[in-house]
Amino acid sequence: MPSNKSVSDAPIVQFTNCRILRDHQLQREDLWVREGKILNPEKLFFDEKGSADVQLDCKDSIIAPGFIDVQINGGFGVDFSLATDDFKSGIDLVSRKILSHGVTSFCPTLVTSPPSVYHQVLPQISVRNGGAHGAGILGAHLEGPFISKEKKGAHPEHCLRTFEAGAFQDLLATYGSLDCVQIVTLAPEMRRSSEVIQELTKRGICVSLGHSVANLSQAEEAVQHGATFITHLFNAMLPFHHRDPGIVGLLTSDKIPAGRRVFYGMISDGIHTNPAALRIAHRAHPKGLVLVTDAIAGMGLAPGRHTLGQQVVEIDGLNTYIAGTKTLSGSVATMDTCVRHFQEATGCSVETALEAASLHPAQLLGIEHQKGTLNYDSDADFLMLNDSLCVQATYIAGEEVWRQDASGM
């Protein structure tokens, strides 16, 4: 009788006594993993006549897909918008440290910066798989500099740019290269933004609308040209108005092209968005909600002064302000905290809260066949969590890359 070695010599690991998030439900099943992928046990039993080489008792944990953070500016003293000689070691540090937050993939995010910063930093960001060395890098998120002066938030005004005669060529000249870029946030009301959105979309880059004074029809036009995301909904955009709801109106717009879904980021840290606003957004468009941290270099550090690109920011508790002002500038929240706060604030199901940090960002980036789910043949990037949604262990490609020790650290 053929053994489980008939297809591959790699060991098969069976995770038992767990509740797996699959098909939007927590299901009492075992999880089977081989060579970094999730196996279909029926195929294993009936086609290969195989069995597990290793069994792991999960002690009734929840197993959920790894979290994906598509907007994170840095953390632990590392600022992705600063061109430093040791940039690579900085990004390595953040990718390693966020494993404890349940993040298995992320988009390092650069805020509005001078062209020289993009030209120095972007060549040092490369798309890579995660592993024991840290979370995987899906590509950079460039937030600015093609944004509104009125809604610049924590972005330095002297670095803001508009699209001139060259439009897309202006963008290329500013960034230097789009090789590792996954998301670009821009203000859709800017002249010639439509052609830029089309060019970016053609290259497989996700266009996000944010830091903008766009009205609803300008936002709808941007979506018709290919934009699919809204950067931190409610923050740095016109407030909802019943006669012209602005970008917020995209959540219930009837002008979205058939078959297209607009996603929107939410910083669910209890600071950036009132719980009532979080509930309104979630109830209006639950399948589009993507949790993001928008974390800055000060995440994981003591309160005090830190940087966000060209600006100095002050951390006071969970609040982060541009020094000397009351302008919010990113967050110090961790992704697991955002998931718990989101569930608490909205009263949504555990499954819904977990999918907002895993399935939805994967769908936004078009990678839901590999990540963000625990479907058969997808990447075995997953978390073990307790019923309070605290991360107990993080796995990438089926290998344990972080585990909470007995002291709770």
Q: Is 285 annotated as a binding residue?
A: no
Q: Is 235 annotated as a binding residue?
A: yes
Instruction: Give the bridge partners for 291, in sequence order.
Output: 266
Whether 154 has a binding-site annotation, put simply, is yes
Q: Is 400 annotated as a binding residue?
A: no
What is the DSSP annotation of 234-299? TTTBPPP-SS--GGGGGGG-S-SPTT---EEEE--SSSSS-HHHHHHHHHH-GGGEEE---B-TTT
Based on the residue annotation, tell me whether 379 is a catalytic residue of this protein: no
Distance between CA atoms of residues 39 and 279, nearest Å: 37
CB 384 within 8 A of CB 59: no
Q: H or E element: which one contains 218?
A: helix 216-224
How far is it, in rounded angstroms, from Cα 225 to Cα 207?
10
Task: Compute how many other C-beta atoms are within 10 angstroms of the C-beta atom of residue 134.
Answer: 23
Question: 243 a known binding residue?
Answer: yes
Options 69, 269, 294, 381, the catalytic residue:
294
Q: Is 232 annotated as a binding residue?
A: yes
4 is in an annotated binding site: no
What gap in Å lies between CA 38 and CA 21, rounded to an integer?
13
State yes or no: 143 annotated in a binding site: yes
CA 368 to chain centre: 13
Q: How are beta strands 54-65 and 382-385 bridged, if at all?
A: antiparallel
Determine if residue 277 is labeled as part of a ligand binding site.
Answer: no
CA atoms of 162 and 174, how far apart (whole Å): 11
Q: Which residues are annotated as a binding site for Zn(2+)?
A: 143, 211, 232
Q: Which residues are annotated as a binding site?
A: 143, 154, 211, 232, 235-236, 243, 272, 328-330
The catalytic residue positions are 294
Q: Which residues are annotated as a binding site for substrate?
A: 154, 235-236, 243, 272, 328-330
